[in-house]
Structure 1
């Protein structure tokens, strides 16, 4: 489905995306690039992030790829300095780096728990805090990619639930503190998104995919373009009065089980 945003909607804007080597975050980067933005991408592996940037330039966009681990504040700040030097002050920041795996708490080491919290929560803090002095203020937009686990407890996801809940509250705190500077801070909580590593793990067979979709109010997975459009809306002048908000882009998954089976009486 074509985007509702004009090809020049973000012309002259610089967008910094963390965790952009693949998946939803790279999809967001492509969305902004199609709308005319210049992209600065970071991820841990130099080869992967350069390959991601190359997909944008091959499509006619402008992008630079830089290796930086979001857990390393100095590395993130250095990437922001380069982005500003080469592309101009930062108008939009997307923080989407994440780590996750399924594990019961009794089977999870303290280091495993810490790793996810460090990538997700500390990483979001580092990206946003380091970006502040490089933002095109007033008018800058910061967006964190959070998750339903931030508000819905899930089995074998204690680490991700804790980290994402922290991100949601960080969004709200920064929205209050940075609003007077003209900086808006919001989040996007994606539901099941097609062609992502997460859904490949959760529903690896056509039968499991069909059962998963049957539980959704809209009966289908979302796309990476859906999340890109949500990010562009939150970064546009149309959302100039929106801050501290978590936008659910989830096909109604947070509403609960919408399948016909949910109406059946227990035997």
Structure 2
């Protein structure tokens, strides 16, 4: 028996990067997966489509276009899952964006965009999913970041948004523990995704900083985070709630 047999999972930002890997891993473990994203195809041409991966697993799946910062779109994504499959068991709030600025250099519109997607989007999808997750005694897996636990250079808005995700996770865990809804977060370190490929290819000084801060000999892969998400989405984590699990190669151990 697979770890998520019979479950219905909604994964936001699932077309690319970490979300792509999580959705594929969930399908491999028996879940029916709703892929929610503003785009259907990956950000990078050389990244394999999540739908090809899900086809390989034989999983049932569907796609819903969703801007998580829009209340109507977030609600519609949740209702698509419930209307299509009769239930919702797992919500993964993965959708996120990252622009790099010091506070004084941050354009107000970029601050708003980052906070809207990362923090507001997590809140909105949770708001509409939680009534259904209460019925299924389900799971919420939020994507925070190491920069939601410690400061990160030139990342004012991102740090603020991911700090909000980390503490919203703890707060919601308290409210929904009596309903046996597990609410946890992952705090990835440097994961090689489309979001940071430009820096990895063209900014050796930034890469040197990241390497110096990561005790593990390599950066992480999306699959490393997906494995942790599988644990938090499965019955194996039934007595874990309000946790923010670092998947960071030791970054936050400094």
Q: TM-score, normalised by structure 2?
A: 0.89
Q: Deviations over 1:178-224 (max 9, x none)?
A: 11111110000011123x12442333269765774465322112221
Larger-gyration structure (1/2): 1
Q: Structure 2, unaligned stretches of length 5 or more? A: none
Q: Displacement of 1:253 after TM fit?
A: 1.4
**Residue 4 of structure 2 aligns with which residue?**
10
Matching of residue 24 in structure 1 with residue 15 in structure 2? no
Q: Structure 1, unaligned stretches of length 5 or more? A: 1-5, 257-267
**Residue 243 of structure 1 aligns with which residue?**
241
Query: Does the 8 A contact of 1:38 with 1:62 survive in 2?
Result: yes
Query: Does the 8 A contact of 1:189 with 1:246 survive in 2?
Result: yes
Q: How does 1:1-267 map to 2 (within 5 A)?
A: 8-46=2-40, 52=49, 54-59=51-56, 60-135=58-133, 137-194=135-192, 196-204=193-201, 212-213=210-211, 215-256=213-254
Query: Does the 8 A contact of 2:12 with 2:36 survive in 1?
Result: yes
Q: Displacement of 1:22 after TM fit?
A: 0.3
Query: Does the 8 A contact of 1:81 with 1:134 survive in 2?
Result: no
Q: Displacement of 1:110 after TM fit?
A: 1.6
CA distance 1:137–1:94, change in 2 (3 Å)? same
Alignment partner of 2:63: what SS? strand
**Residue 260 of structure 1 aligns with which residue?**
none
Q: TM-score, normalised by structure 1?
A: 0.85
